[in-house]
Amino acid sequence: MSTRKALIAEVLAYSLALLPILAGCGESPPVDTSLLTGEPCAPPCWQGLTPGVSTEEEVNEFVLTSELVDQSTLFRGKTTRASGEVVGETVQWWSTADMANAPRQFGNRMHIVDGLLEHLTVFLDVDVTLEDLLERYGPPEKFTAWHEGVEVWYVKVTLYYPRDGFMTTLIIPPHDAQLRPESEVVTVWYFQRAPLEEFLELSRDIGYPTVSDEVLQDWHGYGPIELRP
């Protein structure tokens, strides 16, 4: 074999050996799509974990083994009530994909009280629009809308689905306070299914979020929204 042919063969063999490595580098990190697909489970269940049912051991197993969790970001803290009373543990983590389009200071959070998962908050790494949400779950039972932010102001809209065991948050530009089909859902809070009154009692108790009856609004569909307060 000539020197030139031998060199070509060597380069070809080297390139073929690199293909699996390059293919692995190009793989996208896994993302959670369960809000719309219901797989592996639908609200109030999330990735096999259900508020009020799943144990602390099951939560620990999930965060230590799931490909959705960036292990380097795991953090454990305390779950407190609005009064400041410590009642349990909080497991916080950022997703492997980390593509959530939302202003945030914290990662995804799971709150454990009396050995059981009480509630959890997840930042979405996939595009979910308001239209997508309404097509799957129908109109929310109530919603809230107000200004929020420190350096950058925005309108935070929260849609309540207490009988389905979750609520969602949308971020709207402050200069255009309207709900549109393409408005983006950015976070989901999963909790035990409950009538609205029981859910509001729970939300006030844990202080996340603090909701008063005065700011709750009936759903009127797309269009301009009133900000309260």
Note if the pTM is more than 0.85. Answer: no
- Does 217 score more than 70 pLDDT? yes
Q: Which long-range contacts (CB under 8 A, 24 or more apart) does 34-38 make?
A: 35/124, 35/128, 35/133, 35/136, 35/168, 35/185, 35/188, 36/128, 36/132, 36/133, 36/136
Mean pLDDT, rounded, for 91-110: 80
Q: First CA to last CA across the chain, in angstroms?
A: 82
Percentage of residues in the chain having pLDDT higher than 90: 63
Band (83; pLDDT cuts 50, 70, 90): confident
Q: 156-215: per-residue pLDDT in tens?
A: 999 999 999 999 999 999 889 999 999 999 999 999 999 999 888 887 777 656 677 889
Band (141; pLDDT cuts 50, 70, 90): very high
pLDDT at res. 2: 54
On average, the pLDDT of the chain sits at 86
DSSP state of 45: -
pLDDT at res. 12: 44
Question: Who wins on pLDDT, 111 or 105?
Answer: 111
Q: Is 117 exposed, middle or buried (0-12, 13-18, 19+ CB in 10 A)?
A: buried
pLDDT at res. 105: 58
- Does 23 score more than 60 pLDDT? no
pLDDT at res. 129: 97
